[in-house]
Amino acid sequence: MQQRVLYERKQHEYVPQNTNDITKEHASKWDQLNERFALFLTKHVGTMETAYVFTVLSLTGLAGLLGILNGFVFLFISWASQQFVQLVLLPIIMVGQKTFSTENKHYKTMNSFVL
C-alpha cells in the first residue's frame, strides 16, 4: 500500500533585501523629502527638551493672561499653542509615525524570511 503525502517541504533560497530600498522604490522624491522631514520632527519633538520648551511656552502664556506680561504675548502664545502645534505639528508627527510603522512592517517581513 502506497502512503500519501499531504505536504512536501521545499527549501527556498533566502535573498536578503534592504528595507530602505523597498520603501524608496515606491515613493517619489517629494514624498521622500516629506517623510524625512516628518521623521526628523517625530524623533526630535518626542524629547524632554521639547517638553521643557512647551512648559515655558505655557507658563509664558499664563503670565500674559494674568497681566504680568503684555497682552500681545498672551495672544501670540495662544496662537502658537492652538494653531501651530495642534494644526501643523501634530499632522506631521502622524506622518512620521506612519512612516515608522511602515518601515517596521517591512523590517518584520524581511526578518520572517530568516526564521
pTM: 0.51
Instruction: Measure the CA–CA gap between 101 and 73, rounded to whole angstroms.
Output: 39
| pLDDT averaged per 10 residues in sequence order, the chain, 115 residues | 77 71 66 82 82 86 86 84 80 80 70 59
